[in-house]
Structure 1
Amino acid sequence: MYAIPLGDDGAELRPLEPWRAQEFLAHMDRGREFIGQYITLADAVTDLESSRSFLLGYADKAAADTGRIHGIWADGTLVGGVLFRTMDIAQGTAEAGCWLEPAAAGRGLVTRAARVLIDWAVEERGIHRVEWLAAAANGASIAVARRLGMTRDGVLREYRLHRGERLDIEVWSVLAPRWRADRQARRAGHGS
């Protein structure tokens, strides 16, 4: 399959397909507590069967054009990923998300990977609004939303029950015209 370089450091973005279930499970095992602080992914992928089932669900979403999932590889190892949890082509909306194991944090991998995914959604699929939902306490995810040029739309108070605690969820978004303008500025050397 294809791999998209994410910069000069050898990191790549690749489809995360069901045949990679064992590799995906090993990745979850390495980062389970870190990944699971704010999202349910680490609790959903606990053995080979659940890993395969999770990836099959995204294969079905890709076939139906309602979602996508891609892994981030660094030095040949799966270390995280980005996804469209939902995509509504008719409405032109999508909800993006991410995860990363702790060893790969702080390298800008999620921001670079999310840019590739959002570029594809806006330019190839005609998505007008990309949303990013993050727990209010998840500073790293909120920082990615900011680096992506997103605007904070608001807070859904005590919106999600996660590991017995109700989390406030911040909603961030970027609209296609702003995304294109920011991308043009980055290419001209005026942005990060």
Structure 2
Amino acid sequence: MFATSLGDDGAELQPLEPWQAEEFLAHMDRGRKFIGEHIALPDFVTDLDSARSFLRSYAEKAANDTGRLYGIRTDGTLVGGVLFRTMDTTHGTAEAGCWLEPSAAGRGLVTRACRAIVDWAVEERGIHRVEWLVSAQNAPSIAVARRLGMTREGVLRENYLHRGTRTDTEVWAVLAPEWRAARALHRS
């Protein structure tokens, strides 16, 4: 299986596949409370069958070119993930997302992983617009959107029902020309 280095600290990005369901479930169990603060993923991945089903759904998305799922590893241990929840190559749009278990937070792993997948989407798949939908209460994820050079486009008021509470969702996005211009600045 291939791995993409995320820097000098040994962190790597790798596809997550159905055969890794046990490891994925163990990772989710380690971070269930932390991850579940803002997203529902831990509510859906609760046992081996649901872990396998979730990973299988993204294998199907990858096969149909409508989404992707990658694990973030440090020292070989799965500690988080990034994904394209949706990807429409015909219209050139994708929605990116992420999660981490608490042991991996605050190290820039999500930002580095998202840079890798956004760069791939823009340069290899011709995606023109990458969106980031985030709970208005999720300051770390909003900070990632800013570090990625995304623009806050608006707020979907009380659109997301999470564990019985309606929350606002901020919409952030970066367009391919903006992404390329920012990458060129960082290279010079």
TM-score bucket of the superposed structures, by smaller chain: over 0.9
- 1:128 equivalent in structure 2: 128
**C-alpha distance in structure 1 between counterparts of 2:186 and 2:45, whole Å:** 36
- Residue 25 of structure 1 is matched in structure 2 by 25
Looking at structure 2, the residues matched to 86 and 187 of structure 1 have their Cα atoms a distance apart, in angstroms, of 29
Counterpart Cα distance in 2 of 1:185 and 1:7? 19
Matched, 1:159 2:159: yes
Amino acid at match of 2:6: L
Q: Identity of aligned pairs, percent?
A: 74
| Separation in 2, partners of 1:44, 1:181 | 38
Task: For residue 184 of structure 1, report the CA deviation from its aligned partner.
Answer: 1.2
Query: 1:157-180 CA deviation, whole Å, 9 max, x = no partner?
Result: 001100000010000000000000
Question: What TM-score do you get using the length of structure 2 for normalisation?
Answer: 0.99
Residue correspondence of structure 1 range 45-60 to structure 2 within 5 A: 45-60=45-60
C-alpha separation between the residues in 1 aligned to 2:44 and 2:157? 24
Residue 141 of structure 1 corresponds to 141
Q: What amino acid maps onto 1:135 in structure 2?
A: S
The CA RMSD over aligned residues, in Å, is 0.4
Letter in 2 for 1:143: A
**Corresponding pairs, count:** 188
* Deviation at residue 75 of structure 1 after TM alignment: 1.2
Q: Tell me what 1:83 maps to.
A: 83
Q: What corresponds to 2:68 in structure 1? A: 68
Gaps of 5+ in 1: none
| Secondary structure of 2:8 counterpart | coil
Alpha-carbon distance, 1:92 to partner: 0.3
TM-score after normalising by structure 1: 0.97
> One-letter code of the match for 1:44?
F
| 1:78-130 deviation per Cα after TM superposition (whole angstroms, max 9, x unaligned) | 00010000001111000000000000000000000000000010011100000
In structure 1, what is the equivalent of residue 92 of structure 2? Answer: 92
Aligned residue for 1:127, secondary structure, equals: coil
